Chain A
Amino acid sequence: MKATERILNILIFTFLYAPLLVMVVFSFNASKSTAVLSGFSFYWYKELFASSDTITALQNTLILAVASATIATVLGLIAAVGIFRMRSKPLRNTVMTITDIPMMNPDIVTGVSLMLLFVFIGRLLGLANSLSFITLLIAHITFNLPYAILNILPKLRQTDRNLSYAAMDLGCTPVKAFFKVTMPAIRPGVLAAWLMGFTLSLDDFVISYYTNGASFQTLPLKIFAMTKKTVKPDMYALSSLIFITILVLLILVNILQSKSQKDNNRTLKKE
């Protein structure tokens, strides 16, 4: 039984990580070929930074991911608090369903419908460029928002409502009570919401394809446009860098979280 379990585990992890491994290996390839390994070199990592074009696309992608994740988290936090405090259960359920729908919706439908909306508004306003960075940002916030709410709401449910009442009793304003009492309790949820938004935005292709404008291109769009010729290994280098950055960040988050958990347990024991 244990042996099959182990084999299954190995298989699963091979399938998950083999493609990434191959990409990382080829990013260190000395030649241009993606078929023949001809030696170890950092050449493509150096090349990567030589193209202003690629760097602009990377910068665009990161700016968009940080901005959309941050705005979606703030909006999601506000929305989650609002939903949490709703008195009527049917109303709360309705609102939850409505926020869930964009998540279930296929990307292509979201992308096309957002584009139609932006073009329609752009025509009304008489804009020459109805698609721009702003529309791309709005689109990314749109698909990040349900995930933000979904991450924050369960954390809110776990909190004790009376704690914030107690804080207000002791002289806090409602806002102060929220930041002093509720916020620390739901912080992991908020952080998870931000991280999820960041990664979703980072790798979104379909929605960006329909909503990007003439002056702002993200990395996934740039890589897709390379399919007529061949994708050069500098893209493997870039993808490897992104993968390693995310991996390190996640490990860091986990370490810090388990540490703070231990701290909490210790203080609980002392009490």
Chain B
Amino acid sequence: MKKTLFPLLLVTMLALVMLCSSCGSEPTEEEVVFDPEALTGTYSREYEGTSINVFNWGEYISDGTEGTLDVNAAFEELTGIKVNYTNYESNEAMYTKMKSGAVSYDIVIPSDYMIQRMISEGMLQKLDFSKIDNYENVLPEYRGLYFDPEDAYSVPYTVGMTGLIYNTTMVEETPTSWGIMWDERYADDILTFNNSRDAFSLAQLLLGQDVNSTNIADWDAAADKLKEQNAVLQARVMDEVFNKMEAGNAAIAAYYAGDYLIMVEENEDLAFVYPEEGTVFFVDSICIPSNAQNYEAALMYINFLLETQIATANAEAIAYASPLINVRENEDYYYYQNEVLYPTEMPELQYFTDLPVDVRTYYENLWEEILRESE
């Protein structure tokens, strides 16, 4: 009897693997189909059989779920290049992994301030824009941004803004200021960011400061403001904000605009506003690291990500704003002319830049203090 056990186990495991791979190719009903005819860029099968290592944020691509386009599978089908797709959860985690020198990626998608740091440390290489013919789709306002002023290293992928999400059944008025996050009437119903930079930015915006201030006094003032907020806060959250707002467990939260669109599908009482003090803005851009092994294929992949059908699928899956004109003018785009992502009247915007180490240490210490006081 026992003799049969071990092989039995192995067979079951292998059967599971097989089952999974066969199920993977099964099409769903309303699936969006990849249409190679509609491509505007030029692609060859010159690099067939090679592979590229793509390092991206988790859940930051259209992956074939919910009837969407499977971008990586489409690229593999088109070019014969295998996409090894892996994920990270923060800019810092990605930076550390690359800095170890143990791995080489062909594509990474860091945020603005991290790109600035990586360029200054020689971790990225210049892109050959003659091979990225779809670059013309990038809107002028997203070119030459502060972290890459000459447009040499990066191609914007998504852009996003922080805004105020509130539950209309719990908040009577229409909030216009970040100040409502300090309002005692909503004590214990307010959620803010659980990361220092974003949390500080709200106080800084309210105080009319520059979010990239290198003046210690500014940071002290913002920290005092945040300590004041401790009394009315329910919690500091990141992705828990989805559950809390969807279930109506909190009245007010600051989070990213695109994520509001996901929440509102579950709870239609939620509303969104950009406060009058302005807001902060981020850009995640596609880059090629200096130790990339398959540069030419990586360029082809970047070009592919800028295709209308591909970029639209990604913009719909991620729900953040797209910096591409071909997506914004695509009437089939689910968020076409969406007021949250593409407000007709843009709020005043500030970028996060990479701060000097001493300022970073200073505000991180203040942050620790604020957290201690909230306990």
Is A148 part of the contact surface with B, judged by Cβ < 8 Å? no
CB-contact partner of A260 in B2, B16, B239, under 8 A: B2
List A135-182 residues whose CB lies under 8 Å from chain B.
none
With A50-B65, A62-B17, A253-B5 given, is the CB distance from A214 to B243 under 8 Å? no
Is A66 part of the contact surface with B, judged by Cβ < 8 Å? yes
B239 and A229 contacting across the interface, CB-CB below 8 Å: yes
- Cα distance A253–B4 when bound, in Å? 10
Query: Which residues does chain A contribute within 8 Å of B104, judged by CB atoms?
Result: 128-129, 214
Interface secondary structure of B, over-half rule: mixed
- Cα distance A51–B26 when bound, in Å? 10
List A208-267 residues whose CB lies under 8 Å from chain B.
212-217, 221-222, 224-232, 234, 245, 249, 252-253, 256-257, 259-260, 263
B86 and A217 contacting across the interface, CB-CB below 8 Å: yes
- Cα distance A106–B291 when bound, in Å? 32
Query: Which residues does chain A contribute within 8 Å of B87, judged by CB atoms?
Result: 217, 221-222, 225-226
- Cα distance A131–B86 when bound, in Å? 13
Mark contacts of A8-39 with chain B using CB atoms, 8 A cut-off: 1 yes-contact digit, 0 otherwise: 00000000000000000000000111111000
Is A119 part of the contact surface with B, judged by Cβ < 8 Å? yes
CB-contact partner of A46 in B5, B28, B59, B86, under 8 A: B28
- Cα distance A56–B100 when bound, in Å? 25
With A62-B13, A62-B16 given, is the CB distance from A215 to B86 under 8 Å? yes
CB-contact partner of A33 in B8, B16, B246, under 8 A: B246
Q: Determine how close the nearest CB of chain B comes to the CB of A180; give it in whole angstroms.
A: 13
With A128-B291, A214-B103, A228-B58 given, is the CB distance from A263 to B63 under 8 Å? no
A227 and B247 contacting across the interface, CB-CB below 8 Å: no
List B78-96 residues whose CB lies under 8 Å from chain A.
84-90
- Cα distance A245–B15 when bound, in Å? 12
B55 and A214 contacting across the interface, CB-CB below 8 Å: yes
Which of chain A's residues has its CB closest to B249's CB?
Answer: A35
With A52-B72, A128-B293 given, is the CB distance from A215 to B63 under 8 Å? no
Q: Determine how close the nearest CB of chain A comes to the CB of B53; give it in whole angstroms.
A: 4
Is B38 part of the contact surface with A, judged by Cβ < 8 Å? no
A123 and B101 contacting across the interface, CB-CB below 8 Å: yes
B58 and A222 contacting across the interface, CB-CB below 8 Å: yes
Q: Count B interface residues, CB 8 Å.
A: 63
A32 and B89 contacting across the interface, CB-CB below 8 Å: no
- Cα distance A254–B63 when bound, in Å? 40
Is A93 part of the contact surface with B, judged by Cβ < 8 Å? no
- Cα distance A190–B60 when bound, in Å? 43
Query: Which residues does chain A contribute within 8 Å of B72, judged by CB atoms?
Result: 52-53
- Cα distance A118–B97 when bound, in Å? 13
Q: Determine how close the nearest CB of chain B comes to the CB of A255; give it in whole angstroms.
A: 10
- Cα distance A79–B316 when bound, in Å? 54
With A47-B66, A215-B51, A260-B2 given, is the CB distance from A228 to B84 under 8 Å? no
Is A59 part of the contact surface with B, judged by Cβ < 8 Å? yes
Q: Determine how close the nearest CB of chain B comes to the CB of A119; give it in whole angstroms.
A: 4
A187 and B293 contacting across the interface, CB-CB below 8 Å: no
Query: Which residues does chain A contribute within 8 Å of B239, judged by CB atoms?
Result: 227-231
- Cα distance A226–B59 when bound, in Å? 6
Query: Which residues does chain A contribute within 8 Å of B64, judged by CB atoms?
Result: 50-53
Mark contacts of A173-209 with chain B using CB atoms, 8 A cut-off: 1 yes-contact digit, 0 otherwise: 0000000000010011011001100100000000000
List A102-126 residues whose CB lies under 8 Å from chain B.
115, 118-119, 122-123
Bin chain A's interface residue count.
35 or more
CB-contact partner of A35 in B17, B63, B103, B243, under 8 A: B243
A55 and B21 contacting across the interface, CB-CB below 8 Å: yes
Is B238 part of the contact surface with A, judged by Cβ < 8 Å? yes
Is A40 part of the contact surface with B, judged by Cβ < 8 Å? no
Query: Which residues does chain B contribute within 8 Å of A130, judged by CB atoms?
Result: 101-103
Is B9 part of the contact surface with A, judged by Cβ < 8 Å? yes
Is A80 part of the contact surface with B, judged by Cβ < 8 Å? no
A50 and B28 contacting across the interface, CB-CB below 8 Å: yes
CB-contact partner of B88 in A54, A128, A198, A225, under 8 A: A225
With A217-B85, A263-B1 given, is the CB distance from A32 to B266 under 8 Å? yes
Q: Determine how close the nearest CB of chain B comes to the CB of A58; give it in whole angstroms.
A: 6
Q: Determine how close the nearest CB of chain B comes to the CB of A253; give it in whole angstroms.
A: 7
List B1-47 residues whose CB lies under 8 Å from chain A.
1-6, 8-10, 12-14, 16-17, 20-21, 23-24, 26, 28
Is A42 part of the contact surface with B, judged by Cβ < 8 Å? no
Which of chain B's residues has its CB closest to A38's CB?
Answer: B266
Subset of 26 A-B contacts with CB under 8 Å: A31-B266, A33-B247, A49-B24, A51-B65, A52-B63, A53-B72, A54-B65, A119-B100, A129-B102, A129-B103, A129-B293, A187-B2, A194-B9, A198-B13, A213-B103, A214-B86, A216-B84, A222-B87, A225-B59, A225-B87, A226-B87, A227-B238, A229-B259, A229-B262, A234-B65, A253-B5
B→A interface (CB under 8 Å): 1-6, 8-10, 12-14, 16-17, 20-21, 23-24, 26, 28, 51, 53, 55, 57-61, 63-67, 70, 72-73, 84-90, 100-105, 238-239, 242-244, 246-247, 249, 259, 262, 265-266, 291, 293
A→B interface (CB under 8 Å): 31-36, 46-47, 49-56, 58-59, 62-63, 65-66, 115, 118-119, 122-123, 128-131, 184, 187-188, 190-191, 194-195, 198, 212-217, 221-222, 224-232, 234, 245, 249, 252-253, 256-257, 259-260, 263
Given contacts A51-B64, A216-B84, 7 further A-B contacts (CB under 8 A): A33-B266, A49-B24, A53-B64, A129-B102, A129-B104, A222-B87, A225-B88
9 A-B pairs with the lowest CB-CB distances in the bound complex, closest first: A225-B58, A225-B87, A35-B247, A215-B84, A214-B53, A49-B23, A226-B58, A217-B86, A214-B103
